[in-house]
Amino acid sequence: MTRTEPQNPDLLCINTLRTLAIDQVQKANSGHPGTPMGAAPTAYCLWQRFLRFDPDDANWPDRDRFVLSVGHASALLYGLLHLCGVKQLKQHQQEQETTTDLAVTMADLQTFRQAGSHCTGHPEYGWTSGVETTTGPLGQGVATSVGMAIAQAWLAATYNRPGFNLFEHRVFALAGDGDMMEGLSAEAASLAGHLKLSRLCWIYDCNHISIEGSTALTFTEDISARFSAYGWQVLQVADANDIALTTHCLQIFLQTQDRPTLIIVQSHIGWGAPHKQDSAAAHGEPLGMQETRSAKQFYGFDPQVNFAIPEGVREHFSTHFGQRGFSEHKAWRICFAAYRVQYPDLAAQIDCMQRRELPEQWDAGLPRFDTDAKGLATRDASSQVLNAIAARMPWLLGGAADLSPSTKTHLNFDFAGVFEPPAHLSNAGRNFHFGVREHAMCAIASGMALSGLRTFAASFFVFTDYCRGAIRLAAMMGLPVIYIWTHDSIAMGEDGPTHQPIEQLASFRAMPGMLLLRPADANEVIEAWRIVMQLRDGPASLVLSRQALPTLDRSRYAAARGVARGAYVLADGTAATGELPDVLLLASGSEVALCIAAYEQLAHEGVKARVISMPSWELFERQDEAYREQVIPAAVSARVSVEAAAALGWDRYVGRYGKIIAMRSFGLSAPGDVAQKQFGFEVGHVLAAAREQLRQHKQRANPS
Ligand SMILES: Cc1ncc(C[n+]2csc(CCOP(=O)(O)OP(=O)(O)O)c2C)c(N)n1
């Protein structure tokens, strides 16, 4: 017995969550105790009385989702996962296998924020089972939850059948003042309201404190009016400790079928800490020994005991949260088994999707692109390929941030449809209109991917700056989201420097886990899509041109399947003799054609050049040394790289003496071909650079 006073079971559980959070932070000497203390009753009420979640299988497809958008309050989530007995899943090939190990053990709680613990500083998807999405950057969790709610609506509309409600889960997110302040939450809430996502509930833990002090310093708008204007139902709980009222509000949410719900819960950060409650001091640092003891006393706990779990607490969670989850999941399994008999094809699709597999014949309808000097823009080639694949893969879906006519990402086959409000009705459209909301679009795409859908999101490449927070988390989580970025260089032209990407290529190449592909012609686009579709554990960026690019003669130059190796020898004047070339011309995307033109001219002059198409640095770096040496022989020091983007990184491939033709400033408002010429992206300039390289190489060889 660690309890000092009798308490009702609800309060005992709530206070256990509070003290576990305090002790995690205190032992780690790092973290955020205050919000777990204030929000514990709210989270408890939701989990214990409502959440449909089987602790033995955190991957049950129809589980309710709980997103801790206040990721810094992770100690609260870890307490819940521990007390609820949620089990860790093990990744085995593409299956998530259940285990009997706890996702969060007592040892994990006691090593909060230390290497190897499942209690990481902020919740990390894929590491701790029961964490539905990685959170920490404020606003991401709530925005991602909108994607999860969209996925639920889409899955229900696509796969539910009379008598078979396979997908009827709800999505909850616990948010704080910071989430509400971030612009991202406004974008996401606006779209959720428009779509009338009635199975979405955000609970706003309103404690009026953020890091610099009272929110009165910066945040005085009427949140209720704001969300009402978005089309949300807004409910209020005046005191977080009043779980009867929270229960009532959650019941109202469950009955609401025409709009999302925001429950604003007034709470006290650090509730129960005599000197730190309601102050920023409770936000991001341990309470301290004395304050900890006082708070425990206030809760009726023994001040001397750390990580106490009073008798009856686990049992209480197991009787309510656990039993509900077991029985709901069991009923679902029975339902799905019967569904499988009646609708075997649909059930097979659900299985396939959950395992992130591709359907058979997914690539059977791919187009062919014949040699064509005029060619076509890689965005147009991509449109054809995307449509061919999507027509055979029902759960490949997505859209653009109000730019689909430009990104060419509209699915135009007869049965594609549009995902429109109200989302809870039978609406399985696959074209998503995200509106001019790039950041939310990417967070939503992640939320959809977390529910098994294969999503794509599209915009102009330059606007990835607006999406970066969400893309970074997708890469961290290993989500196979497909990003389609068009208008990929200064060649996009007249819109000028604000719309012309420069540093974006380098920045995505710097992002761990991101696979970037910048194909050079329509046939490279096909190969790029093949690679992207087979990804299971990370996002990809397809970087595409607005302008037409010649479709290369593949009988004259190498086959486009070389894309799979990231870089390949496209044209080589020494191929027949096996000699080393005199000069290497390296490029990606639209600049490859320039190099081919230079190569032909050099061949005419008797110079043996080699063109290396480099659509993906990441894939090339994964090749063995022998292949990389074969493509870029160390002995050839005369090299020119050509890419209409920042130079950063090209020195790796051009070596010590090579020439980098790149952008060293922002672009220019002018027609694309004029802008390209102005910055040296023309054959004459590439030729001059190659000749100069040859001259310097000779001089190095014979320094007279
Ligand atoms: C995008 C982003 N900006 C800044 C931070 C740093 N940060 C962490 S918590 C926090 C204050 C959040 O206040 P609130 O949501 O009220 O949390 P509470 O004080 O209730 O714990 C800030 C600025 C962050 N995590 N994410």
Task: State yes or no: pLDDT of 643 exceeds 60.
Answer: yes
Place of tokens 């991602």: 144
Spatial CA neighbour of 153 closest among 427, 449, 348: 427
Q: Find the catalytic residue in 124, 187, 438, 591.
A: 438
What pLDDT, on the 0 to 100 scale, is given for residue 578? 85
Confidence of residue 2 (pLDDT cuts 50, 70, 90): very low
Expressed in angstroms and rounded, the spacing between residue 176 Cα and the centre of ligand 1 is 8
What pLDDT, on the 0 to 100 scale, is given for residue 423? 66
Task: State yes or no: pLDDT of 239 exceeds 50.
Answer: yes
Expressed in angstroms and rounded, the spacing between residue 120 Cα and the centre of ligand 1 is 17
Task: State yes or no: pLDDT of 230 exceeds 80.
Answer: yes
Backbone φ and ψ of 599, nearest 5°: -60, -45
Give the atom of ligand 1 at the shortest distance from the alpha carbon of 139.
Answer: 1
Residues 6+ apart with CB under 8 A from 64: 50, 51, 52, 53, 169, 170, 171, 172
Residue 235, number of CB atoms within 10 A of its CB: 21
Task: Give the chain's count of helices (H) and strands (E).
Answer: 25, 22
Residues 6+ apart with CB under 8 A from 562: 527, 568, 569, 570, 613
Task: State yes or no: pLDDT of 5 exceeds 70.
Answer: no
| Rg of the chain, C-alpha, whole Å | 28
Please tell me whether residue 367 adopts helix, strand or coil conformation: coil
Assigned fold of 372-549: Rossmann fold (3.40.50)
Give pLDDT tens digits for 106-117: 999 999 999 999
Q: What ranges in 231-370 are assigned the alpha helix state H?
A: 243-255, 289-299, 313-317, 323-342, 344-354
Tell me what the mean pLDDT of segment 518-545 comes to.
98
Q: Please report, as a single letter, which amino acid is at residue 645.
A: A
> pLDDT > 70: what percent of the chain?
98
What's the CA gap between 375 and 504, in Å, rounded? 25
What pLDDT, on the 0 to 100 scale, is given for residue 174? 99
Spatial CA neighbour of 306 closest among 694, 593, 25: 25
Residue 232 CA, distance from chain mean position: 25
| Ligand 1 binding residues, C-beta < 6 A | 32, 34-35, 70, 72-73, 136-138, 176-179, 207, 209-211, 269, 283
More confident residue, 601 or 428: 601
Pocket test for ligand 1, best of 68, 72, 134 (most atoms within 8 A of CB): 72
Place of tokens 């190659």: 690
Give pLDDT tens digits for 242-266: 999 999 999 999 999 999 999 999 9
Give the atom of ligand 1 at the shortest distance from the alpha carbon of 35.
Answer: 21
Expressed in angstroms and rounded, the spacing between residue 282 Cα and the centre of ligand 1 is 13
CATH, domain range 9-330: 3.40.50.970
What's the CA gap between 553 and 555, in Å, rounded? 5
Tell me what the mean pLDDT of segment 440-447 comes to.
98
What pLDDT, on the 0 to 100 scale, is given for residue 1? 33
What pLDDT, on the 0 to 100 scale, is given for residue 7? 82
Question: Which residue ranges make up each domain of the chain?
Answer: 9-330, 372-549, 565-701
> pLDDT > 90: what percent of the chain?
95
Task: State yes or no: pLDDT of 606 exceeds 80.
Answer: yes
DSSP state of 554: T
Expressed in angstroms and rounded, the spacing between residue 181 Cα and the centre of ligand 1 is 10
Expressed in angstroms and rounded, the spacing between residue 471 Cα and the centre of ligand 1 is 20
- Preceding omega of 422 cis (within 30 degrees of 0): yes
What pLDDT, on the 0 to 100 scale, is given for residue 92? 75
Expressed in angstroms and rounded, the spacing between residue 178 Cα and the centre of ligand 1 is 5
Confidence of residue 703 (pLDDT cuts 50, 70, 90): confident
CA distances 625 to 467, 635, 643, 657, Å, are: 35, 14, 24, 21
DSSP state of 3: B
Give the atom of ligand 1 at the shortest distance from the alpha carbon of 73.
Answer: 21
For residue 439, give both structure tokens: 């950041």
Kind and range of the H or E run holding 83? helix 74-83
pTM above 0.95, yes or no: yes
Asked whether the CA dihedral 389, 390, 393, 395 is positive or negative, the reply is positive
Our answer to whether residue 438 is catalytic in this structure is yes
Give the atom of ligand 1 at the shortest distance from the alpha carbon of 136.
Answer: 25
Give the atom of ligand 1 at the shortest distance from the alpha carbon of 215.
Answer: 16
Confidence of residue 434 (pLDDT cuts 50, 70, 90): very high
Among protein residues, the one whose CA lies closest to atom 8 of ligand 1: 72
Q: How many CA atoms lie within 13 A of 413 on its CB side?
A: 17
What pLDDT, on the 0 to 100 scale, is given for residue 656? 94
What's the CA gap between 214 and 217, in Å, rounded? 6
Tell me what the mean pLDDT of segment 623-636 comes to.
98
Pocket test for ligand 1, best of 179, 211, 215 (most atoms within 8 A of CB): 211
Give the atom of ligand 1 at the shortest distance from the alpha carbon of 39.
Answer: 20
Cβ proximity of 298 and 274 under 8 Å: yes
Give pLDDT tens digits for 463-507: 999 999 999 999 999 999 999 999 999 999 999 999 999 999 999
Task: State yes or no: pLDDT of 62 exceeds 90.
Answer: yes
Mean pLDDT, rounded, of the chain = 96
CA distances 65 to 30, 172, 478, Å, are: 28, 6, 19
Task: State yes or no: pLDDT of 545 exceeds 50.
Answer: yes
Expressed in angstroms and rounded, the spacing between residue 177 Cα and the centre of ligand 1 is 8
Tell me what the mean pLDDT of segment 537-560 comes to.
98
Long-range contacts from 233-236, C-beta under 8 angstroms, 24+ separation: 233/259, 233/260, 233/261, 233/262, 234/261, 234/262, 234/263, 234/264, 235/261, 235/262, 235/263, 235/264, 236/263, 236/264, 236/266
Tell me what the mean pLDDT of segment 84-110 comes to.
92
Pocket test for ligand 1, best of 30, 32, 70, 138 (most atoms within 8 A of CB): 138
Cβ proximity of 445 and 455 under 8 Å: yes
Domain 565-701, what architecture?
3-Layer(aba) Sandwich (3.40)
Sheet containing 233-237, strands listed edge to edge, beginning at the edge strand earlier in sequence: 65-68, 171-175, 200-206, 261-266, 233-237
Among protein residues, the one whose CA lies closest to atom 9 of ligand 1: 72
Place of tokens 């130059």: 557
Among protein residues, the one whose CA lies closest to atom 25 of ligand 1: 137
